[in-house]
């Protein structure tokens, strides 16, 4: 597992350039351009189970969801940041991409530190220190448990039209 570390205000144009937003919408089309203008090695070397650690306001900018779709598709296990921008946050709930807000853990982590993630218990372990992160609210958990917002909506429609 690799940890990809980035700074503050990583915006949607860095995560997925705007010039492709109306020509790329499937995972296959998105992946080659993921983080293109931020870190050109990312889309080549990223592996399933990798983690992203970043500073404040991760995902700020456009409402484009390609970054979330792409990061989910390449198998990013979680993004740990000091804070997230709100549309990016909602988008991640909709796609079932795990976001963890933990400013302390972000500040503690330096390159090549040991890191372990227990999502069920809400614990990040860095070297020997443990950091707790809050559980997801139950209304939102329902969406994630259904497998994302579209699945959740499908279930809702089925129930309503029975």
Partner 1 sequence: MEMTFAEKILTKYSGEKNLTPNQIVNVSPDHLLTHDNTAAIIQKIQNELEKYGIYSNIMPIIVLDHVIPAATEKTALNHKKIREFVNKFKIKNFFDVGEGICHQIVIEKGFALPSKLILGSDSHTCSYGAVGTFSTGIDRTEAASLLLTGETWLKVPNSIKINLKNQLQKGIYAKDLILKIIGDISASGANYCSVEFHGDVNKLTVEDRFTITNMGVEMGAKNSVFPVDDVTINYLNSIGISKSFYNSIYPDNNAHYIKEYDYDLSLIEPMIACPHSVDNVKPVDEIEGLEIQQCFIGTCTNGRISDLNIAAKILKGKKISKNIRLIILPASKDIYEKALNLGIIQTLLKSGAIILPPGCGPCLGAHQGALAPGEKCISTANRNFKGRMGCKDAEIYLASPATVAISAIHGRITNPKEAL
Binding site for partner 1 (CB under 8 A): 8-9, 11-14, 17-19, 21-23, 25, 36-38, 56-57, 60-65, 68, 83, 85-87, 90-91, 94-95, 137, 139-140, 148-150, 152-154, 156-157, 161
C-beta closer to partner 1: residue 67 or 126:
67
CB of 125 to partner 1, least distance (A): 27
C-beta closer to partner 1: residue 62 or 102:
62
CB of 115 to partner 1, least distance (A): 24
Supply the Cα-derived Rg of the chain in whole angstroms: 16
C-beta closer to partner 1: residue 122 or 148:
148
Q: Do residues 89 and 68 lie in contact, with contact meaning Cβ atoms separated by under 8 Å?
A: no
Compute the distance between CA of residue 85 and CA of residue 88 in angstroms, rounded to an integer: 6
CB of 128 to partner 1, least distance (A): 31
C-beta closer to partner 1: residue 125 or 152:
152
Q: Do residues 133 and 101 lie in contact, with contact meaning Cβ atoms separated by under 8 Å?
A: yes
Strand order in the sheet with 129-132: 115-118, 123-126, 129-132
Compute the distance between CA of residue 102 and CA of residue 95 in angstroms, rounded to an integer: 21
Q: Do residues 20 and 75 lie in contact, with contact meaning Cβ atoms separated by under 8 Å?
A: no
CB of 7 to partner 1, least distance (A): 11
């Amino acid at each position: 597992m690799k940890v990809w570390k980035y700074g503050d205000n990583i915006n949607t144009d860095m995560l997925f350039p705007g010039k492709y937003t109306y020509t790329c919408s499937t995972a296959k089309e998105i992946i080659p351009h993921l983080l293109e203008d931020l870190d050109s090695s990312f889309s080549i070397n990223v592996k399933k189970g990798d983690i992203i650690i970043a500073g404040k306001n991760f995902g700020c900018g456009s409402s484009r969801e390609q970054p979330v779709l792409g990061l989910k598709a390449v198998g990013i296990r979680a993004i740990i940041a000091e804070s997230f921008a709100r549309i990016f946050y909602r988008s991640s709930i909709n796609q079932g991409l795990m976001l963890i807000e933990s400013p302390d853990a972000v500040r503690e982590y330096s390159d090549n530190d040991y890191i372990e993630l227990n999502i069920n218990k809400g614990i990040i372990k860095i070297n020997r220190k443990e950091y707790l992160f809050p559980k997801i609210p139950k209304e939102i958990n329902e969406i994630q448990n259904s497998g994302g917002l579209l699945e959740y909506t499908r279930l809702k429609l089925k129930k309503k039209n029975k």
